[in-house]
Amino acid sequence: MKFASRHAITPCRLRIAAVALLAAMGSAAAAVPPALPPLPSAPSLPLPPRMLAPQIDAQAAVLLDVSSAQTLLAQSPDTPVNPSGLVKLMTAFVLSQAEQQGLLHADSKARVPVSAWRVAGSRMFIQPELPVTVAQLEDGLLIDGGNDAAIAIAKDVAGTNAGFVDLMNHDAAALGLRRTRFVNPDGLPQAGQVSTAMDLARLSSALVRDFPAVLGIAGRVTYTYDHIRQFNYNPLVGQRDIDGLGVGLTNHNRWNLAISAHKPGRMLVAVVVGAPSRAAAGSDASAMLTYGWNGWQQESVGKPGQTVGLLKNVDWSPEVLHVDTPRAVSVAVPAQRGVHVHTRFVALPGLKAPIAVGQRVGTLDILWHKQTLRSVSVVAANAVQPANWFMRMLHKGEAAI
């Protein structure tokens, strides 16, 4: 592999090496993970008062609040669709992981395979004899949607397309994208490649959450490589609060669009799939974002380390377990003056000592008008051990008083 001689061996490197070896051996198991059970459909959501959800002309659409991981709008979210160019969001995710773990660097020189030079569709016009860096490939991938950039990235990270696709599917499974299967890194039409609007929205959210540096690339209007100036296909790029993200065109002339947008303290992701035109995709996404900003507001529910519950058990020592939120908790709620959320601690059934500090012991349900908007894990703030016979008798005696 290209970087084996220049970098220390890491778990990720071992994983990539194993993938490349399996791909070279033609292992079907490596390229196609086993089928996973279907996820339940997205729950119905309360509509913000005096504001109806926008009418979407596209085949499917999803609006996510990134901070709270809430679904604010969903239209046919689990319908199988052709992800087309939005496949490159996973290509960017895998590349960002490799960079984060030091397997390659932005200024590293990348190889350009002949297959990348010859690929059809959108291109940044790399050639085998022209120098190109990883950073330039990222520009071509996220601004221009270059298919040649995607293939060159796959070759540089995993050695083969098949190996890189296996990494894509591995990470898709880890992110819970159970209705998604990738078969190439560029999104060009190929049998077996499938996703859903919900999975693509979750992928977009994970990308901007885990690797926010991509927004500084995807949000640029133009870039230049080899004296060729190219433009971002995203119809909303350049507008206020828009970070950009990804665009795709299917072989049925349907447009897919992923948009990330931010305001102080909030970030939204909108995904539109199967719009009749690029302009229509942009219009749908813009309406969804307006709905998210104006129809929903962020509300803080808990600070890191805030006690949200107590559990008492005479068989424990100490007898009382304090339950805390491990991190700050916020929630998007329908915008309505004077109406606030309520919380409910729900303990895991059958909790037994010993319980360690930081161990998950239940969930904090956040409710609005008796409907659960979000559930977050809560943890033990203190350790408990099984009480000895004397302490149990003492606790029982205190309870009887």
For CATH 3.40.710.10, the residue range(s) in the chain are 11-298
pLDDT at residue 148 is higher than 60:
yes
Q: Select the more confidently predicted residue: 141 or 390.
A: 141
Span 384-397, pLDDT tens digits: 999 776 666 665 65
Nearest CA-CA partner of 113 in 164, 168, 167? 164
What phi, psi does 289 have (nearest 5°)?
-65, -40
35-53 residues labelled b (16+ CB within 10 A) or e (exposed): eeeeeeeeeebeebeeeeb
Spatial distance between the Cα atoms of 46 and 65, rounded to a whole number of angstroms: 15
Considering 23-27, 28-32, 127-131, the range whose residues carry the highest mean pLDDT is 127-131
272-290 residues labelled b (16+ CB within 10 A) or e (exposed): bbbbeebebbbbbbbbbbe
Confidence of residue 82 (pLDDT cuts 50, 70, 90): very high
Spatial distance between the Cα atoms of 196 and 181, rounded to a whole number of angstroms: 10
Strand partners, 309: 323
pLDDT-above-90 percentage for the chain: 68
**Per-residue confidence (pLDDT) for residue 339, from 0 to 100:** 66
DSSP code for 84: G
Considering 38-47, 84-93, 120-129, 317-326, the range whose residues carry the highest mean pLDDT is 84-93
**Identity (one letter) of the amino acid at 8?**
A
* Average pLDDT rounded to a whole number, residues 269-281: 96
Contact 268, 293 (CB under 8 A): yes
**Per-residue confidence (pLDDT) for residue 390, from 0 to 100:** 63
Cβ-based neighbour number of residue 385 at 10 Å = 12
CA angle 145, 87, 114 (to 5 degrees): 60
Confidence of residue 368 (pLDDT cuts 50, 70, 90): confident
For CATH 2.60.410.10, the residue range(s) in the chain are 303-400
Tell me the CATH class for 11-298: alpha beta
Handedness of CA 143, 148, 149, 154 (dihedral sign): positive
pLDDT at residue 201 is higher than 60:
yes
Confidence of residue 65 (pLDDT cuts 50, 70, 90): very high
Cβ-based neighbour number of residue 390 at 10 Å = 9
Contact 220, 226 (CB under 8 A): no
Question: Mean pLDDT for the chain?
Answer: 85
Write the CATH number of the domain with boundaries 303-400: 2.60.410.10
Confidence of residue 208 (pLDDT cuts 50, 70, 90): very high
